């Protein structure tokens, strides 16, 4: 299929912001933030920011102690407004990556790979999430040697945006602040409506295993709102049907920045030097993390003995892991 727009080239010294959005889950930052710190410490094109939705003393102390730039709001208003704060405070980056706090980085090459995909295709917005969530895609294309699937439904776990694309479509809609959730699908549809992407969700399928996709309990209780067959709630579907192409960037409650400069992540990155994958996690958290990591190994390796060893390791680390049960059920069914 043809590119969404004319190919855009960026200078070798581009600047990209990796923003981790979080809310009342400091344990997930302790587990996974060192991997992002190590990547950014090694590649000066990328900067790391945490956007905290609503005050949380433990998260604020952690970021201050380990030299992590942090934006924190006075009120909880959901992940969309949390992203708007990062964009408003730091508007000058060429590219933006927004990741939820439960995403575990395995291979940092996923970040420059998305910049290369943009430069090769002119697609201003890519998403990435677990393979099992790639559904109802309409077509696929080959971009920079990678298979990209295009569809109308997807996840907000990991998203890439060009700075130019965000300036054209604007920020996440403030309507969803009252629910403290949703809004990512409507925002993605704007890229499609504006001709900046061939579909709302564009996924480089071969990159899905560069991260481990965790499924923790939601911080915000599910709202009992009607959803359609595509699992889109009524307020979001109403906005999608309006076919908006631009929503001005808005923030609501006051927010602040901890004034920690970018580029001082060496100390946090160095916690990984001793070889422990989860050096800042508690012992109980570490067992859970290791179990999930070994399940990722089970999915990602092809050798039957190594797959068996990974599955056994996952069971020994955390026998009650719900994803372990799901994996075994799928294996028994031949999936």
More confident residue, 11 or 128: 128
| pLDDT at res. 332 | 75
DSSP strand pairing (95-100 vs 16-22): parallel
- Please check the confidence at residue 6 and state whether its pLDDT lies above 50: no
pLDDT of residue 220: 72
- What are 149-158's pLDDT values in tens digits? 999 988 889 9
pLDDT for the residue numbered 275: 95
The C-alpha atoms of residue 118 and residue 291 are separated, in whole angstroms, by 35
Residues in CB range of 155: below 8 A, 6 or more apart: 127, 129, 130, 133
Q: Where are the domains of the chain?
A: 16-257, 282-332
Q: In whole angstroms, what is the distance from residue 128 CA to residue 202 CA?
A: 8
Four-way CATH pick for 16-257: 3.40.30.10, 3.40.1180.10, 3.40.50.12780, 3.90.550.10: 3.90.550.10
In angstroms, the Cα distances linking 279 to 23, 94, 158, 284, 286 are: 22, 32, 24, 12, 8
Q: Which of 8, 14, 43 is nearest to 265 (CA)?
A: 43
Does 34 have pLDDT greater than 50? yes
Whether 185 has a pLDDT exceeding 50, the answer reads: yes
Question: Do 117 and 146 meet the contact criterion of CB atoms below 8 Å apart?
Answer: yes
For residue 268, pLDDT beyond 60: yes
In this prediction, residue 229 has a pLDDT band, given cuts at 50, 70 and 90, of confident
pLDDT of residue 334: 64
- CB burial class (10 A; 0-12, 13-18, 19+) of residue 285? middle
pTM of the model: 0.93
**101: nearest Cα among 37, 152, 52:** 52
Q: What percent of the chain has pLDDT over 90?
A: 79
Question: Comparing 217 with 34, which gets the higher pLDDT?
Answer: 34
Query: For the chain, how big is the Rg over CA atoms in Å?
Result: 19
Residue percentage of the chain with pLDDT more than 70: 93
For residue range 63-78, what is the model confidence (pLDDT) as tens digits?
999 999 999 999 999 9
Which of 53-57, 169-173, 322-326 comes out lowest in average pLDDT? 322-326
How many whole angstroms from its chain centre is CA 331?
28
pLDDT for position 230:
81
Q: What would the 3-class secondary structure string for 13-74 be? A: CCCEEEEEEECCCHHHHHHHHHHHHHHHHHCCCEEEEEEECCCCHHHHHHHHHHCCCEEEEC
Tell me the CA end-to-end span of the chain in Å, nearest whole number.
31
Using DSSP, state whether 113 is helix, strand or coil: helix
The pLDDT of residue 286? 96
Tens digit of each residue's pLDDT (9 = 90 or more) over 129-148: 987 766 667 789 999 999 99
pLDDT of res. 11: 47
């Amino acid at each position: 299929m043809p590119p969404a727009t004319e190919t855009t080239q960026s200078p070798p010294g581009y600047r990209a912001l990796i923003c981790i959005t979080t809310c009342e889950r400091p344990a997930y930052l302790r587990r996974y933030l060192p991997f992002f710190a190590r990547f950014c410490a090694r590649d000066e094109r990328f900067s790391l920011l945490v956007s905290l939705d609503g005050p949380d003393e433990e998260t604020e102390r952690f970021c201050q102690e380990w030299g992590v730039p942090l934006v924190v709001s006075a009120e909880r208003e959901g992940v969309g407004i949390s992203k708007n704060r990062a964009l408003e405070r730091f508007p000058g980056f060429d590219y933006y990556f927004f990741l939820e706090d439960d995403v575990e980085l395995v291979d940092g090459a996923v970040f420059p790979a998305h910049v290369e995909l943009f430069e090769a295709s002119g697609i201003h917005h890519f998403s990435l999430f677990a393979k099992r969530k790639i559904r109802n895609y309409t077509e696929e294309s080959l971009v920079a040697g990678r298979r990209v699937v295009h569809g109308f439904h997807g996840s907000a776990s990991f998203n890439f945006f060009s700075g130019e694309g965000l300036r054209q479509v604007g920020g996440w809609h403030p309507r969803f602040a009252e629910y403290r959730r949703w809004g990512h699908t409507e925002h993605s549809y704007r890229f499609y409506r504006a001709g900046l992407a061939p579909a709302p969700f564009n996924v480089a399928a071969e990159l899905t295993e560069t991260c481990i996709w965790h499924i923790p309990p939601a911080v915000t209780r599910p709202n009992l709102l009607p959803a359609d067959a595509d699992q889109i709630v009524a307020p979001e579907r109403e906005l999608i049907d309006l076919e908006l192409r631009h929503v001005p960037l808005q923030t609501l409650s006051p927010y602040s920045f901890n004034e920690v400069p970018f580029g001082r992540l060496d100390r946090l990155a160095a916690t990984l030097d001793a070889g422990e994958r989860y050096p800042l996690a508690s012992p109980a958290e570490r067992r859970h993390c290791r179990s999930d990591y070994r399940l990722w190994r089970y999915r990602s390796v092809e050798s039957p003995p190594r797959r068996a060893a990974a599955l056994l390791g996952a069971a020994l680390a955390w026998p009650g892991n719900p994803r372990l049960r799901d994996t075994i059920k799928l294996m028994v069914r031949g999936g």
